[in-house]
């Protein structure tokens, strides 16, 4: 089996320089930030995107350092199992027994040596020693492990793979074995491997043009002229553009003016599946942070009414902030669970969107830490909660109205099984697939976006109509 990515030249032969100690010199700000973020993710179960954003905002790194910190965080998380496997022969102690800070520093440095050809191995190792805890002997241990790792070459002498074929594939693709086995059963080994490798790729930066203010082509021209960014139109979503990474989108001039929202192309298709009419009444019952809510409002030409529900006031504030920036005035926010709020809006909506909380196993490109936290039992728990939300939301749909159920998961327990149970208990609803759609639906009327086939995040969605 071929290695996951090309080995960097800087990690091929570390030589004597690979273990040179920096003599107390401060580490690079990019590596310092990355280590802090990875430690929070490891020790506190924080989410990488929010912690990284907070760190980058507080530190105000130069664009180059911010890009390297981001690469190190997500690279180390995506390839965590693979990195542990290739590091293991160089450590006399089991990696899982180490202090979290030591573990993340080893992984982060191994990622640089093995994957990033422009990063000198000696510089990565020097900073790793500086970033290690000051406990006596720890710096020497980190130095010895990484010197050995760099000297032998990260992939010139890989350990023998596990004998179990699923374990071997899981190590190579850096996934938990239980997910590998599920996806092999569902897609076949070749497709499952392609899916995992796509999940480990850097996702594109995709923007949704705010059609209330600008066309897609005009947005692209402004991004090029004002922010110096390359762009191209998305293949499936008619309002989407893919742009080259050029710093934080929130700092671009086009962002402050409300010309776009950051949104993956698959996510853009969900509001289009509901297809709300201008002037209608629509509900988004799991609305925060408001990305799909504001898209619904744009499709409605900012005419009508959108009920936006969320359990937390702080999250609803993000919906209101997004609406204000985009110039949207028809969103009416309500704090609380849908089960408590739905009775006040019984049969009041022409369309209802249930973008249900789920395992997030379809968006591992963006949230790679999730795959190391999920367990098979989580799917059943998520399924029960999804069914409760869907049943409550259905009471808000008027006769003849539409209901869309969507998740950023590919797992049947969170999709087909929830829909099957819903239809059995709500016989006045039937599947209602659109006759035409940017991405052809499957035979059962489901929208399925797959990273390795469509270049998008993984999403599943289906539309029902009430009799």
Which residues participate in catalysis according to the annotation? 408
Sequence-distant (≥ 6) Cβ neighbours of residue 325 within 8 angstroms: 256, 258
Q: How far apart are the first and last CA of the chain?
A: 53
What's the Rg (C-alpha) of the chain? 24
β-strands 349-355, 240-243: how paired? Answer: unpaired
Sequence-distant (≥ 6) Cβ neighbours of residue 291 within 8 angstroms: 208, 261, 262, 263, 267, 322
Instruction: Identify whether the C-beta of residue 114 lies closer than 8 Å to the C-beta of residue 87.
Output: no
Judging by beta carbons within 10 Å of its beta carbon (0-12, 13-18, 19+), is residue 467 exposed, middle or buried?
A: exposed
Integer CA distances (angstroms), 232 to 171, 241, 299, in order: 35, 6, 22
List beta partners, residue 449: 459
Instruction: Identify whether the C-beta of residue 351 lies closer than 8 Å to the C-beta of residue 403.
Output: yes
Sequence-distant (≥ 6) Cβ neighbours of residue 115 within 8 angstroms: 5, 7, 8, 11, 75, 79
Tokens 């021209």 correspond to what residue? 221
Total number of residues shown for the chain:
467
**Residue 204 CB neighbours (<10 A):** 19
């Amino acid at each position: 089996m071929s290695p996951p990515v090309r080995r960097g030249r800087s990690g091929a032969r570390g030589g004597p320089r690979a273990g040179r100690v920096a003599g107390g010199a401060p580490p690079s700000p990019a590596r310092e930030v990355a280590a802090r973020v990875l430690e929070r993710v490891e020790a506190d179960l924080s989410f990488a995107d929010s912690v990284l954003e907070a760190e980058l905002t507080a530190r105000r790194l130069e664009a180059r350092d911010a890009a390297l910190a981001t690469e190190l965080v997500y690279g180390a998380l995506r390839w965590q199992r693979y990195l542990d496997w290739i590091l293991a022969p160089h450590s006399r102690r089991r990696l899982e027994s180490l202090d979290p800070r030591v573990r993340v520093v080893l992984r982060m440095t191994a990622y640089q040596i093995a994957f990033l050809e422009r990063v000198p191995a000696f510089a990565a190792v020097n900073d790793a020693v500086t970033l290690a805890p000051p406990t006596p002997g720890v710096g020497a241990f980190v130095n010895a492990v990484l010197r050995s790792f760099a000297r032998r070459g990260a992939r010139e002498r890989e350990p023998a793979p596990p004998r179990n074929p699923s374990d071997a594939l899981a190590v190579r693709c850096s996934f938990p074995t239980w997910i590998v086995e599920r996806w092999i059963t569902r897609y076949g080994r070749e497709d499952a491997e392609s899916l995992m490798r796509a999940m480990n790729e850097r996702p594109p930066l995709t923007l949704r043009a705010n059609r209330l203010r600008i066309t897609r082509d005009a947005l692209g021209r402004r991004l090029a002229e004002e922010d110096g960014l390359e762009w191209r139109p998305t293949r499936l979503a008619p309002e989407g553009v893919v742009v080259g990474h050029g710093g934080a989108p929130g700092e671009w001039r086009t962002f402050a003016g409300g010309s776009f929202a950051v949104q993956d192309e698959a996510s853009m298709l969900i509001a289009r599946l509901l297809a709300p009419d201008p002037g209608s009444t629509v509900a988004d019952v799991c609305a925060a942070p408001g990305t799909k809510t504001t898209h619904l409002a744009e499709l409605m030409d900012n005419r009508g009414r959108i009920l936006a529900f969320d359990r937390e006031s702080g999250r609803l504030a993000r919906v209101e902030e997004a609406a204000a920036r985009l110039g949207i005035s028809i969103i009416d926010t309500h704090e609380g669970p849908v089960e408590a709020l739905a009775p006040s809006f019984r049969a009041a909506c022409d369309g209802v969107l249930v973008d249900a909380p789920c395992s997030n196993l379809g968006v591992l490109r963006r949230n790679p830490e999730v795959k190391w936290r999920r367990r098979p039992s989580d799917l059943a728990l998520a399924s029960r909660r999804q069914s409760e939300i869907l049943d409550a939301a259905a009471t808000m749909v008027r006769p003849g109205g539409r209901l869309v159920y969507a998740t950023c998961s590919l797992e049947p327990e969170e999709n087909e099984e929830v829909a099957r149970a819903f239809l059995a208990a709500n016989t006045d609803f039937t599947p209602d697939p659109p006759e035409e759609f940017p991405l052809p639906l499957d035979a059962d009327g489901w929208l399925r976006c797959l990273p390795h086939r469509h270049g998008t995040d993984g999403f599943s969605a289906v539309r029902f109509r009430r009799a």
